[in-house]
Amino acid sequence: MATMNISLPEPMRDWVQTQIEEGMYSSSSDYVRDLIRRDQENRRQHRLLQAAITEGLKSGLSDRSMDDVLKEAQARLAGLNAD
């Protein structure tokens, strides 16, 4: 595993130390790794959302009613939650 040194203002260092003392993380490295994983996942989700928005914009106007669109979205969501 590679090593990286970072500098933090004292309040941030204290925050990390508190998280470790409260048992949330085993070390400052563990804390930083978790932050990076969360950032990676957030960015992945953002890319997926942006792609869906772009796809929707490119699809043009629909002749369906808002009720029809909402019902389809709810059915899709129900299907996703069933998995």
Asked whether residue 14 is domain-assigned, the answer is: yes
Asked whether residue 3 is domain-assigned, the answer is: no
End-to-end Cα separation, the chain, in angstroms: 36
Does the reported pTM lie above 0.75? no
CB of 34 closer than 8 Å to CB of 25: yes
Query: What pLDDT band is residue 79 in, cutting at 50, 70 and 90?
Result: confident
Asked whether residue 39 is domain-assigned, the answer is: yes
Asked whether residue 1 is domain-assigned, the answer is: no
Q: Where are the alpha helices (DSSP H) in the chain?
A: 10-21, 28-58, 66-82
What pLDDT, in 10s, does the model give residues 5-62? 999 999 999 999 999 999 999 999 999 999 999 999 999 999 999 999 999 999 988 8
Q: Side chain identity at 42, as an amino acid letter?
A: N
Q: How many residues are listed for the chain in this entry?
A: 83
CA distance linking residue 59 with residue 62, whole number of Å: 8
Asked whether residue 54 is domain-assigned, the answer is: yes
Question: What domain count does the chain have?
Answer: 1
Structural domain containing residue 61: 10-82
Asked whether residue 4 is domain-assigned, the answer is: no
Asked whether residue 76 is domain-assigned, the answer is: yes
Asked whether residue 71 is domain-assigned, the answer is: yes
Token representation of residue 31: 């804390």
